[in-house]
Amino acid sequence: MIVGDRMKKIIIGTLFTIYLLFTLMITVFLMKYNSFNVIEFKDILIVSMNKTSLKYHRGSLLIINKANIDEIKENDEVFYYTADQHKVLIAKDKIVSIENVNDSEKTVSLANSKKYSKDYIIGKVSDMVKIPLLGYLLMALTSKIGYLFFILLPILSFFFIQIYLLFRKGKKA
């Protein structure tokens, strides 16, 4: 009987530790949104399909490596930030030309006849990794309702259960 209780505590402890690490990861993702409302770690962007106007499968997660503007050349296909009805999205197009405005600014002309500052160019399409279906999970967990139901409420429930068990143990003694 003691071995069964001990094994149960080990399993519950392990699952709780995994859950806490998962919770920490999602919380860090939420703290890493850039000014364009996209998760950014140094030179890597993590983008769910609801943030793009691209024609990939719904629910895909895109991992895009940011590129320095000096690494990008004409005829490269790139990702860039664009706006659609007051919402910033990520799109892709081919670079037609790159012109130097001054020492610190470059303007990129795309095949769609639009011009963008170098700050709106993210990186090359060839440097992207696509993970199917994982975008649904990220969208759910980083939404306000998803974070509440999958992260905050379970932790709060665990906290109250531990308090209840503590009081129950105190009454028996």
Q: In Å, what is the CA distance from 143 to each residue of 62, 86, 113, 139? A: 17, 19, 35, 6
Strand order across the beta sheet in which 115-117 lies: 115-117, 106-110, 87-100, 77-84, 121-124
pLDDT tens string for the chain (173 positions)?
Answer: 566 788 988 998 899 899 999 999 999 999 999 888 889 998 899 988 777 777 777 788 899 999 888 888 898 999 999 887 777 888 889 999 989 888 888 899 999 888 998 889 999 998 899 999 898 898 899 899 999 999 999 989 989 998 998 988 887 76
